[in-house]
Amino acid sequence: MPNDDFTWEDMIAINSFADDEFEVLAPVGEHLENQNLVRHARNKFADFDLAIQADNYPLPCTKDRESYYGDRHLAYWLSGYESLLFLEDAAKQYGVELGGVYDFGCASGRVLRHFAVQRPETKIFGSDINKRHIDWVNKYLPSNIVAFCNTSIPTLPMKDEAVDLVTAFSVFTHIEAFDMTWLMEIHRILRPGGLAWVTVHSDQTWLDFNENWPLHKGLCNHPKFPGLDKRQPMSTDKLIFRWHNNRSYTSNVFYRTEYIHNVWGRLFDVREIRRRYPIYQDAVILQKRA
């Protein structure tokens, strides 16, 4: 690693020179101790046991998955599996064959691992601004995943019309500028008729969220946050709470639904906005016009 504490690469990415020493966890089949959750999963997912048996790859430790789900490792795995099923259902609903998939902001493969295991014939791409996550994916997950580090500059090193589905889980929730520029890149790499599944904090999220949501824990310390009891309906297209430091995209961003339809809708057909799907972010389903 360079001697400097901070490099130009770290102004447009995270952990640009991180080492690749990782603590890893056993595959998901070794984390079935919560029998209540196992029973619930078997009732909810018809192929739960088959999916568990098929995934023999390590799980990332909590710190290498953005602290998602703490030490509830099966719950972490299930969240990605459920997302896979949501995405497959949406593709079927809108008549999209998933020959290629790209997960923008893939972290350490919460969703990608399931595509790789369940759909080995699909071309799978993933990227994240955190190079350590990408190193983890490339070291431990199946080789049919092509993972790379993207930067905060809105450009992607992918061919035109390369994929049929782009996912962006909890990415646009932090993009305070250049949202349309990023959407132009997503539009470019999608095949005609392809889908983009983008989760956002909407104006309804702003009114709904409460002190029990993880979102509140960060926002309540922001000097411009008015407090839960003083919130008013959004009067601007975006509501941005930015943490000022030397890194990109250290913000929490809320989008007005009208803005999504009027601006994002110039580029895509806005097929649906699913409220709190599945937790507290809204899922915007965009389709590239054929």
Model confidence over 233-256: pLDDT tens digits?
A: 999 999 999 886 666 667 899 999
Tokens describing residue 286: 């965009």
**Model pLDDT, residue 1:** 47
Which residue intervals of 108-211 are DSSP H helices? Answer: 112-118, 131-140, 179-189, 203-208
Which portions of the chain are predicted below pLDDT 70?
1-6, 244-249
**Model pLDDT, residue 249:** 62
Q: Which residues of 59-93 are buried (b: 16+ CB within 10 A; e: fewer)?
A: bbbbebbeebbeeebbebbbbbbbbbebbbebbee
Give me the domains of the chain, ranges plus CATH numbers: 151-290 (3.40.50.150)
| Distance, CA of 90 to CA of 83 (rounded, Å) | 11
DSSP of 227-264? -GGG-----SSEEEEE--SSSS--EEEEE-HHHHHHTG
Residues facing 165 on adjacent strands: 101, 195
Q: Which of 31, 115, 19 is nearest to 76 (CA)?
A: 31
Q: What is the pLDDT of residues 166-209, one digit of tens each?
A: 999 999 999 999 999 999 999 999 999 999 999 999 999 999 98
Tokens describing residue 94: 């809108």
